[in-house]
Amino acid sequence: MMFYAKRQRGAALVIAAVLLVAMTLISVTSMRSSVTNIKISTNQRMKQGAYQAAESALMQILDENPHEVIPKTNTVGDFEKHPNYYQDRLKSDDQDRPYTEADVIMRFEGRRNNILISGEALGSIVLLYQADAYGRVRGVGGESVGAGAVNRMGAGLVRPSQ
């Protein structure tokens, strides 16, 4: 029995130390991977919020009076810019959360006469516009968090011909 104990000479201590180092490396790698995944998902959420802000701005144009955002003149290339056309906060007193906003630019693209719809001539003029919405996410202090998205929509305003 005495002979067996002398041959060991701390082998268990060395094996335990190697296993402890290996487990530490695995756990540190796991934690770094988790932090990276959290950053990726947060960035994805912010980008989705910016996209939704741009999309909401375009839908707001259609829901409300579009005459408020179109250019005043009908010269091809004329545009009207509307900064902060859309803003979204959950509550007006909710100042400690990021919020979304979007600018809108409406550009006159041209006019078309006598457009056929379902084979019938409308006998009217269609004014064609391009709407660009630039959505972004703002932090608590109003600073940009770096997430942005651009949505584009074509729109036609039908006018009776005179």
Over 80: is that where the pLDDT of 31 sits?
yes
0.85 exceeded by pTM? no
* Residue 132 pLDDT level (bands cut at 50, 70, 90): very high
Per-chain mean pLDDT for the chain:
83
Q: CA–CA separation, 120 vs 59, rounded Å?
A: 28
Q: CA–CA separation, 58 vs 69, rounded Å?
A: 11
